C-alpha cells in the first residue's frame, strides 16, 4: 500500500479536496469536473478547480479563459475566475499548440507549484481535474495532497469500465477514499424525447456495485455540452434547465454529501468545517 505521510503533504486551501479521475481519456472527465465545480458555486459554495492534466489542459477553453495571462502579485500567481469559481491550469503558462514533453519529476513539481505558488482563496471545495491513467500525476496528488476522496468517471461500455476500475483501484492502493462513480454519456437525448444507448446501458451502476463504490448518477449526451465547452460556457450555465444540467447539479450534491461523509473519518479535514 502507498501511505500518505502527513509530513510530506501540502497544506490545502480548501475544506474538502476531491480528485475527478478516470482510467482512460475521452470519457468527458474535464467536462464533469468543470460543470460540477460551477454547480457547487451556484449552490453558494466557494469553489476552486485545479487542472492537473499537465499534458492536455482543457479547462481554460471550457471556462472561457484562454486569454488569461497570470502575473505574480507578492510572489503568488492569481487564479483565473469565471462562472463563480477560481481555477488554474498549465494552459495559462504555455501556448495552446505547445507540446509538453516532461518526465515525472517535472510534472510532480508543476502540480505541487499549482498549489504552493497560486494565490487560492479560502475555499469550501477544491476539485482536481486529473489526467487519465494511473501514473505520476496520480502519485503526486495522492501522496502530496490531503485528499478527501476521488470520483471516478466512466462510460457505460465494458472497455471504459475496465480502465476505470484500474483507476479506482489505483486510488485505493494509495489509501484515497472513493467517493463514487459517475456514468457519463449514458444515452443520447433524441429530438422526439426518446433515448439512444450509444455506449450501452447501465454499465456505470454495475461497475460501481462491483467495485463497492457509491453510484453518483448518470449524465446523458447532449450536443449543447460540446457547444458550451467550445464557447467557454458550461452547460449548467448555458442551459440550466436541461436534463444534462439537472443531472450534473444532482451529482454535485451527491459529491458534496460523500465528501462530508469521508471528511468525518479524515484526520486532515474535520467534518465540522465542511
Residue 139, exposed/middle/buried by CB under 10 A (0-12, 13-18, 19+)?
Answer: middle
49-88 pLDDT, tens per residue? 999 988 889 999 999 999 999 999 999 999 999 999 999 9
Give the single-character DSSP code of 174.
T
Give the single-character DSSP code of 202.
S
Q: Is residue 84 part of a domain?
A: no
Q: Is residue 170 part of a domain?
A: yes
H or E element, residue 189? strand 178-189
Q: Is residue 197 part of a domain?
A: yes
- Give the relative orientation of helices 136-144 and 104-116 as an angle to the nearest 10 degrees: 40
Q: Is residue 115 part of a domain?
A: no
238, 224 Cβ separation under 8 angstroms: yes
Query: Mean per-residue pLDDT for 199-211?
Result: 87
Is residue 7 predicted with pLDDT exceeding 80? Answer: no
Name every residue whose Cβ is closer than 8 Å to that of residue 89 and which is 6 or more positions away in sequence: 51, 57, 59, 60, 80
Range of the domain at 199: 6-51+122-273
Q: Which residue has the cell 444515452?
A: 187
Q: Is residue 38 part of a domain?
A: yes
Domain count, the chain: 1
Q: What's the sign of the alpha-carbon dihedral 268, 21, 81, 103?
A: positive
21's grid cell: 479521475
Nearest Cα residue to 30 out of 65, 3, 57, 69: 57
Q: Is residue 184 part of a domain?
A: yes
60, 66 Cβ separation under 8 angstroms: yes
Strand, coil or helix: 17: strand
What was the pLDDT predicted at 190? 81
Long-range Cβ contacts of 263-270 (<8 Å, 24+ apart): 263/15, 263/16, 263/148, 265/177, 266/146, 266/148, 266/177, 268/6, 268/9, 268/12, 268/146, 269/12, 269/15, 269/16, 269/17, 269/146, 269/148
What was the pLDDT predicted at 183? 95
Is residue 198 predicted with pLDDT exceeding 90? Answer: no
Computed over every residue of the chain, the mean pLDDT equals 87
103-113 pLDDT, tens per residue? 778 888 888 89
H or E element, residue 196? strand 195-196
Looking up residue 266, the CATH number of its domain turns out to be: 3.40.50.300
Q: Residue 6: how many CA atoms within 13 Å on its side-chain side?
A: 4
Q: Is residue 222 part of a domain?
A: yes
Q: Is residue 129 part of a domain?
A: yes
123-144 pLDDT, tens per residue? 999 999 998 876 788 888 888 8
Amino acid at each position: 500500500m502507498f501511505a500518505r505521510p502527513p509530513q510530506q503533504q501540502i497544506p490545502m486551501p480548501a475544506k474538502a479536496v476531491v480528485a475527478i479521475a478516470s482510467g482512460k481519456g475521452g470519457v468527458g472527465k474535464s467536462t464533469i469536473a468543470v460543470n460540477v465545480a460551477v454547480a457547487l458555486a451556484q449552490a453558494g459554495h466557494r469553489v476552486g478547480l485545479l487542472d492537473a492534466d499537465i499534458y492536455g489542459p482543457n479547462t481554460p477553453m471550457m471556462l472561457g479563459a484562454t486569454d488569461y495571462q497570470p502575473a505574480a502579485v507578492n510572489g503568488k500567481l492569481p487564479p483565473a475566475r469565471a462562472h463563480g469559481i477560481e481555477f488554474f491550469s498549465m494552459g495559462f503558462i504555455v501556448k495552446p499548440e505547445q507540446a509538453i514533453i516532461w518526465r515525472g519529476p517535472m510534472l510532480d513539481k508543476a502540480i505541487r507549484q499549482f498549489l504552493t505558488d497560486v494565490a487560492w482563496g479560502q475555499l469550501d471545495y477544491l476539485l482536481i481535474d486529473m489526467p487519465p491513467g494511473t501514473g505520476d500525476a496520480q502519485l503526486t496528488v495522492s501522496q502530496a495532497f490531503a485528499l478527501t476522496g476521488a470520483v471516478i468517471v466512466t462510460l457505460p461500455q465494458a472497455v471504459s469500465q475496465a480502465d476505470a476500475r484500474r483507476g479506482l483501484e489505483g486510488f485505493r492502493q494509495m489509501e484515497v477514499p472513493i467517493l463514487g462513480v459517475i456514468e457519463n454519456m449514458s444515452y443520447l437525448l433524441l429530438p422526439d424525447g426518446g433515448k439512444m444507448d450509444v455506449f450501452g446501458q447501465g454499465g456505470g451502476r454495475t461497475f460501481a456495485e462491483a467495485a463497492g463504490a457509491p453510484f453518483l448518477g448518470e449524465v446523458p449526451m447532449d450536443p449543447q455540452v460540446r457547444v458550451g465547452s467550445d464557447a467557454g460556457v458550461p452547460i449548467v450555465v448555458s442551459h440550466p434547465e436541461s436534463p444534462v444540467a439537472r443531472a450534473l447539479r444532482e451529482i454535485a450534491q451527491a459529491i458534496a454529501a460523500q465528501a462530508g461523509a469521508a471528511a468525518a473519518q479524515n484526520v486532515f479535514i474535520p467534518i465540522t468545517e465542511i
